[in-house]
Amino acid sequence: MKKLLNLIWKDFLFFIEYRLFYMILLLSLLFGFIIGFFPIVNPLFFIFLSLYIIPVITYSIKHYIDKEEYALSETKKTTENIIVKTVSSFMLNIIPLIIYIIVLVFVLHVRINYFLFILVYFLGSIIHILIGFIIAERAKTIISLSLTYTVYILFFSLIPFLFLYNFMPEIFNYILIFSPAYLNSVLLFNIQIGYIFSDVTLIVISLVLQFLLIVALFYMLLAKRGIKID
């Protein structure tokens, strides 16, 4: 366990070395300021950015650099490697969450179920961290990396934003469940409103598919290297 914790901390330090830590911190502070002092902007807009777009770009770049430089070469077990990278990335993605909660509670005095909000945020974070990991694993060059995460964002991550600003009719509610971001946003929409307004079936499907997606993404990472789970 001590070795695993040391590896997680070592991997987290790479975020600082690559300046990604400072980027996330500054963006989170900026987004938090806008949320707190420009109430005309829906907070979900910046929460979606911090969950569905920034992590895919940030963590795919970080993991790609790791892969190229063999940053965690002493982590021989693939399962251990995935755990280390996922946990260290998750630690970084908690920064926006803390800032947003502080603003929502102490500045805007928003009353929502913060326990559910945190759980859904965690769920979305893990999914998109693993997606960033997979994009990095499959990328052969920095150009292919950029193209891959750009295409992913355009086709999968932008869907919640379209629903947020009513650009997408409700008829697409069940059609768009192929998008991990959309599945997660369904829950966040209901949490923000404070009651269940979506179909219960859609909410159940969203929860089930997200947990299945985490398992599937984990197996995809293992299959990429042809290694079985211990």
Query: What's the pLDDT at 77?
Result: 57
Hey, what amino acid is at 120?
V
In angstroms, what CA-CA distances link 2 with 5, 15, 71, 160? Answer: 5, 21, 19, 40
119: alpha, beta or left? (left if phi > 0; alpha if psi -120 to 50): alpha
Contacts with 112 (C-beta within 8 Å, 6 or more apart), sequence order: 104, 191, 192, 194
- Domain range list for the chain: 2-225
Predicted TM-score (pTM) of the model is 0.91
Tokens of 72: 């965690």
Q: Give the CA radius of gyration of the chain.
A: 18
| Of 225 and 97, more confident | 97
C-beta neighbour count of 211 within 10 angstroms: 11
Structure confidence at residue 30 (pLDDT): 97
Q: What is the mean pLDDT of residues 95-99?
A: 97
Instruction: Kindly report the number of other CB atoms within 10 A of residue 209's CB atom.
Output: 16
What mean pLDDT is predicted for residues 153-158? Answer: 95
Q: Which range has the worst mean pLDDT, 59-68, 106-115, 176-185?
A: 59-68
pLDDT score, position 74: 47
- How much is the average pLDDT of 146-172? 92
Spatial neighbors of 168 by CB under 8 A, at least 6 apart, are: 159, 162, 176
